[in-house]
Amino acid sequence: MKQVWIVDDDEEMNRAVQLMLRLLGFRARYFLAARPAAKALLAGERPDLIVLDINMPEVTGLDFLEFLRLRKEFKNVPVVMLSTEAADMLVDKALALGADTYVTKPVALEELEAAMRKAFRSHGITI
């Protein structure tokens, strides 16, 4: 069973996305900030996909995404951006930094599933 990490400082959103992921047949782990997720990656843990928010304190989702894409060992981890931000400038920046797809909150189950499939496909992974 594939594991998906949720990196979002909103606990309620984390719980909602975790439930959706379980309904879709994935194991979920969540982080309320980018730093603990980065530490877990550097300690050798590796998710099959990351669902990432933009607006978080201290380290933003865009900063975390840049960290992922600049490191060879994490470059191929699929990333779905999930944010309340819908401004074209932020969407374009996230995609330019290496997000595989971008979805705005609130998200429906079918929309999340389609975004995840697209992100996996972009890395040659079928689910």
In a domain, 127, yes or no: no
Give the phi and the psi of residue 52 in degrees, each rounded to 5: -130, 130
pLDDT digits (tens, 9 = 90+) for 13-52: 999 999 999 999 999 999 999 999 999 999 999 999 999 9
User: What proportion of the chain, given as a percentage, has pLDDT over 70?
Assistant: 100
In a domain, 54, yes or no: yes
Domain count, the chain: 1
* Contact status, residue 14 vs residue 32, Cβ threshold 8 Å: yes
In a domain, 126, yes or no: no
The CATH number linked to 96 is: 3.40.50.2300
Residue 80 belongs to what domain range? 3-121
pTM: 0.97
- Where does the pLDDT of residue 127 fall: very low under 50, low under 70, confident under 90, or very high at 90 and above? confident
